[in-house]
Structure 1
Amino acid sequence: MNKKVFRVLIKYCLLKGKNTVEAKNLLDAEFPDTAPGKSTTKDWYVKFRRGEINAEHGERSGRPKEIITDENVKIVKIDKMILNNRKLKLNEIADILEISTERVHHIIHEYLGMRKLCAKWAPRELTV
């Protein structure tokens, strides 16, 4: 069962006058493996009482995953930036492109197939 169904059931319990403990017991009896936890049930009860949320999913903030385009990945931006300067860090690339470091990490590892941006290099001492 998905979250929307549980939200509807919890809202139904609230409208029927049940408290959070009764609602949690009802959900556990009917859906023992997938019922939301006690704190989740309480949080949804509080939000329903305030009128903050409905049973539908709300809009989420954050950047969309559509930021990964061919232009950003290979042609112009990240690929050339890395090849020009292997000492760049994920944070620097993210700041330049104004995307999250998580997306930069995903692009570098999944799309470009790179395991590391740069390796620390130190000359070895010769042992005789």
Structure 2
Amino acid sequence: MEAVEYRSVIKVLYLKGQNSTEIHQEMVQVYAEKCSNYSTVTPWVRKFKSGFLSVMDEHREGRSPSVLTEKNVSTVEKLIMQDRRISVKQLAFETKIGIGSVETILHDHLNLKVVSLMGTKVIDN
């Protein structure tokens, strides 16, 4: 079951007047081992008590894409043009950017694929 569905059950049972313990016990009876933990039920009951009645997560800002700059994209592109068989690990080392960020630059910004040759990820069109 999706998290939103569990939260909906928690909300309905809360609105019926049940507390966190009662809600969790009833969910365990119905969902058995697939049930949310008590530590998941409690914060949602607290939110509903405070007047927040949406079962959706609040929007959270993620980490800013500070390494995904034009300068870094340009640097990665130059390194690839110098050596088409450069590995992702080597690009990360040369640019001091994480491997995941290098892969994002390659895929999303430079429209290149990363292929694995003998355990080493290299660049391909």
* TM-score, with structure 2 as normaliser: 0.58
Runs (5+) with no aligned partner, structure 2: 83-89, 108-112
Deviations 1:45-74 (A, max 9, x none): 111111235113432322699xx9xxx87x
Q: Supply the RMSD in Å over aligned alpha carbons.
A: 3.7
Runs (5+) with no aligned partner, structure 1: 91-100, 117-128
Which structure's residues are more often strand, by fraction?
2
- CA change 1:63–1:82 in 2 (3 A) is farther
| Partner residue in 2 for 1:93 | none
| Number of residue equivalences | 100
| Partner residue in 1 for 2:96 | 89
| Partner residue in 1 for 2:10 | 10
Alignment of 1:53-72 (within 5 A): 54-62=54-62
| Partner residue in 1 for 2:78 | 80
| Partner residue in 1 for 2:19 | 19
Deviations 1:75-125 (A, max 9, x none): x552324666963311xxxxxxxxxx4741543798434848xxxxxxxxx
* TM-score, with structure 1 as normaliser: 0.57
Report whether the alignment pairs 1:34 with 2:50.
no
From the CA coordinates, give the structure whose radius of gyration is larger.
1
